[in-house]
A = this chain, B = another copy of it.
Amino acid sequence: MDEHLLIQKYFSDIGSAYLAERNVEVSVGDDSSILNLNSDLQYVNSIDTSIEDIHFLNSMSPRDIAYRSCAVALSDLAACGANPSWYSIALTFPEVEDIWLENFSLGLKDFSDEYKIPLVGGDTTKGKLSVTVQVMGEVEKEKALLRSGARENDLIYVSGIIGDAFLQLRELQKSQNQDTGFDAYLHPKAQIALGLELIDIANSAIDISDGLIQDLNLICKSSDVGAKVYLSMIPTSVEDKTLELINSGDDYQICFTASENNSTKIKHISERLGVPITEIGKITNSKELILLDYEGNKMELGSGYSHF
């Protein structure tokens, strides 16, 4: 099958209901996609690759692989407070298998429908399974949440429950039964609604896909500040809060900092969205990130997820 037919068959109609509202003029099927954009806004672009056996298990269904790869990429936009506009995908896979591609395509449709954005273009190549997703979103001018805005005495918050994806991944590696109870790993949600609510409230934010502590440390470096984090305050679903649990990555949640004055607003956002938001510490002027254990002792920090 040539690439043209393959794209027509499996990729030409993903989220096409949203093309008009997202101002897409030419979608899948030409050399490039043609988009209308708005000068009054800023645009937010991110790209993320998910690779078999590193970012997803090859025992996962193609539908879950597609959905997860896209949600993971979109999470970066959430952390910037952006509203998603559209996405494109570069898919590498070993051979053309109808059922596999049909199911993969369903995962893209799930994703498109959930975030109301169309697939506007892409590329297919032959090789070991790998999914690169590029997402574009929009944000009001100068309103994007960046890593660099944390200020001394900001409270540090994290969304969601940390470590569930890590625990589920461990279970999934042992079991072939992927039916229920694995949503944190298989179907991560990009916290788009939360990101949008945090505009004008958070001073800094980051997607903690590489591990809460490791990624919070990037906020500290970018903002030239330090942080004091209390292990006891980190929200987990199990009692044993190991460093591995809280810093292994795969939590597509947002860690952000905000002035104490905004704490009531943040509580209301959490209630309105039904997303847990937990205070875990405070930004300091020490330029060092310190994690304190239950006894108040400074813990040794390992690294989070390492790409190499």
Contact = CB atoms under 8 A, between A and B. Distances in A.
25 contacts: A2-B306, A4-B221, A29-B147, A30-B80, A31-B147, A32-B76, A33-B45, A35-B43, A35-B45, A37-B39, A45-B120, A45-B121, A47-B89, A47-B90, A47-B123, A47-B134, A49-B92, A49-B123, A49-B132, A51-B126, A51-B127, A90-B132, A96-B308, A127-B130, A130-B130
B144 A26 contact: yes
A74 to B, nearest CB: 10
Contacts of A76: 31-32
Copies in the complex: 2
- Most chain B beta-carbon contacts within 10 A, residue among A45, A122, A148: A45
Interface string A1-29: 11110100000000000000000011001
A77 interface: yes
A48 B38 CA distance: 26
B4 A132 contact: no
A215 to B, nearest CB: 9
B43 A307 contact: no
Nearest to A254: B31
Contacts of A51: 92, 125-127
A248 interface: no
Contacts of A95: 308
A207 B31 CA distance: 7
Closest 9 CB pairs of A and B: A32-B46, A39-B39, A31-B76, A3-B307, A37-B37, A31-B79, A49-B90, A35-B43, A132-B132
A164 interface: no
A179 to B, nearest CB: 29
Contact of A307 (B42, B126, B132, B218): B126
B123 A308 contact: no
Contact of A308 (B3, B89, B90, B137): B3
B307 A2 contact: yes
Interface string A113-146: 0000000111111111010101011010100101
A1 B25 CA distance: 42
Nearest to A134: B134
A82 interface: yes
Interface string A205-219: 111001000100010
